[in-house]
Structure 1
C-alpha cells in the first residue's frame, strides 16, 4: 500500500503541534515554507519537513528568536548546527540549575512547615541534630537597628551569588548567651547548602518551638536557657533561630512560628565544639 506523501496544513499542524496561524507566519517569513502549493493555493508539506518543524518548535520553547532560527535554517551546516546546539545546551544547563535551586528552596520551606505542624506552642525538648551547611553573613555592628542589619545581610548574600529566596536564620554567639547581653548581636545566615561557607554543627540541641517576636529573640533565648538548666545541661555552642512559618505560609506576623535551638552538652560529658565552622 502506498503511503501518503503530502500533508495538508491541518495534518501537518496536528503532527507538529504548531498552529496553522504560526505555520502560515513561518511561510511568510521564509522560515518553513511548504514544499508544494496546490492550484487552489492550499499549502502542502512533506514528511521530510517534520524534522525541521520539530526543531523549530524545540528551539522556540528554549526561547531562541525567530530571526536566529531563520538565519540558521537558511544557511545550516554541520558546523552551524554544532555551534547552535552547544549554545543552547549551555542555556539549558543554566535553566536546569535554576529549576533545581527553586525545587530545593521549595522543599526547605515545605520541610520547615511540616516541622512546625508537628510541634506545639511553647514546646521545649532536647534532640540530636545533624550538621547543616549554611551561608553565614558577617555581623554588622554599624547598623542602626535590626531592620538595617537584615537588609545588609541580604545585600551581602546577594553580592556573593546567594539566591535570596532561601530561608533566613539568625545566630547568636555562645559568649553573648552566657554573658546575658540584653540585645545580642545576631549574625544572619541563609539555608543555602550548595553555596554554604559555614556549618551549623551536629550534636545535642535544646530546642524551643512557638510564636515569638523576630526582633526580640532574647526573650525566647532566656526561656531556653532556663530549660537547659532544668535538664542538667550546659551551653556548648551558639544559638540559632529560624521562622518555620512566616508570611509565605501565614497572613499575620503574630502567627509566625519559630524554632530556637542551642547546642548543649550534658554536664558529665566532655566539651564539644559549638561554633559555626567557617571555611
Structure 2
C-alpha cells in the first residue's frame, strides 16, 4: 500500500470504508456518496480504489448524521462545515432548532386532530336507531358554501372540492360529519330526480377571511338519520318526518339540511353509509 503501508502507526488509526460505516451504523454507499459530493472525503484512496478514513473523521461523520437527522440537506451540511466559527454554528443550529420546533408543534396539532377523529368514529358505533325522529336545539352555526345549487353530481363534487380547498385546516373532511347540502321543501316531495340543493361544509366557527362563510340559523330542528340515501335526493323515510311535523303542528322555517354522518371517506359499504336530515321548525 505504498506510503500508507510504510507507516505502521498511521495504519492503526485508519479505517476502511466498511469499518467506518459499521461504527456509525450507516452504509458504505452513503460514504461513497459523501465522497462524490465532497462532504466527507477519505484521507487515502489506494491504487485499487479502496477508500480509507482517519479515525478523526469518525466524529465528523457523526456530526453529519446528526445534522441530517435535524433536517439539514447535504448541501446545507456542507455549508455548515465551511468557514465555521462559534457565531455561525450558533446561528445555524438556532435556525434548525426553530424549524424543528415548528414541525413538532404541527405534529402535536395533527395528533390532536386524529384523536378527535377517532373519537368521532368511535361514536358512530352507537348511533340512534335509523329513521327514528328526534328534536334538537342547535345554537348559531356556520358553514362555508358557494351559495349556488349544483345541477348534477359533477357540479356537486366540484363545489365540495373548492370548498375543501378554502379551508386552512389539516385533513378537514376525513372522518367528520361536516359535508352536506341545504335545500328548500322540494326535498320532501317524492321524486326519483335530483333535487336542486346547495353544497356546504360545516365549520366550527366563523372563519375570518373566508368569503364563503354563511350562518345557519339557531333554533329547534326535527332530525332523523337514515341509510340507503343520497344528498339532493328524496328518501321514502321523509314521509315519517312529514307526518311528525303535521302531528306536532310545526312549520318549516328555513333551509333543510342533509348531512353525511358516515360517508365514502370511512366506508365502501353502502349499507354502512348514513345521512341525517335536519329541518328547522317553529310552532
| Correspondence list, 1:60-79, <5 A | 62=71, 64-77=72-85, 78-79=87-88
2:243 to 192, 215, 226: 226
Cα deviation for residue 169 of structure 1 reads 1.9
Deviation by residue 1:156-176 (Cα, 9 ceiling, x = unmatched): 542565667515522325xx2
Is 1:189 the counterpart of 2:200? The answer is: yes
Is 1:210 the counterpart of 2:217? The answer is: no
Is 1:238 the counterpart of 2:249? The answer is: no
Answer with 1 or 2: which has the greater Rg.
2
TM-score (norm 1): 0.63
How far apart, CA to CA, are the structure 1 residues paired with 2:26 and 2:215? 51
Where does residue 272 of structure 1 map in the other structure?
Answer: none
Where does residue 56 of structure 1 map in the other structure?
Answer: 67
Where does residue 251 of structure 1 map in the other structure?
Answer: 268
Is 1:44 the counterpart of 2:51? The answer is: no
**SS state at 2:256 partner:** strand
State the number of aligned residues: 251
**SS state at 1:75 partner:** coil
**SS state at 1:206 partner:** strand
How far apart, CA to CA, are the structure 1 residues paired with 2:90 and 2:104? 21
Which ranges in structure 1 are unaligned for 5 or more consecutive residues?
1-5, 268-279
Q: 1:233 to 1:256 in 2, by over 3 A?
A: same
| Correspondence list, 1:75-94, <5 A | 75-77=83-85, 78-79=87-88, 82=91, 85-86=94-95, 89=98, 93=102
Cα deviation for residue 211 of structure 1 reads 0.3
| Correspondence list, 1:1-279, <5 A | 18-19=26-27, 22-23=30-31, 25-26=33-34, 29-32=37-40, 41=52, 43-45=54-56, 49=60, 52-53=63-64, 55-59=66-70, 62=71, 64-77=72-85, 78-79=87-88, 82=91, 85-86=94-95, 89=98, 93=102, 96-97=105-106, 100=109, 104=113, 106-107=114-115, 109-119=117-127, 120-129=129-138, 132-134=141-143, 136-141=144-149, 143-158=150-165, 165-166=172-173, 167=176, 168-173=178-183, 176-177=184-185, 184-193=195-204, 196=207, 197-200=213-216, 203-219=219-235, 221=238, 223-231=240-248, 233-265=250-282, 267=283
How far apart, CA to CA, are the structure 1 residues paired with 2:221 and 2:93? 53
Q: 1:146 to 1:46 in 2, by over 3 A?
A: closer
How far apart, CA to CA, are the structure 1 residues paired with 2:96 and 2:126? 47
Deviation by residue 1:35-79 (Cα, 9 ceiling, x = unmatched): 99xxx94642489658724542323xx3x4312221232234534
Cα deviation for residue 235 of structure 1 reads 3.5
Are the counterparts in 2 of residues 16 and 50 from structure 1 also a CA contact under 8 Å?
yes
Are the counterparts in 2 of residues 35 and 45 from structure 1 also a CA contact under 8 Å?
no
**SS state at 2:234 partner:** helix
Where does residue 48 of structure 2 map in the other structure?
Answer: none
Q: 1:237 to 1:19 in 2, by over 3 A?
A: farther
TM-score (norm 2): 0.62
Are the counterparts in 2 of residues 7 and 47 from structure 1 also a CA contact under 8 Å?
no
Q: 1:19 to 1:113 in 2, by over 3 A?
A: same
Which ranges in structure 2 are unaligned for 5 or more consecutive residues?
1-12, 45-50, 208-212
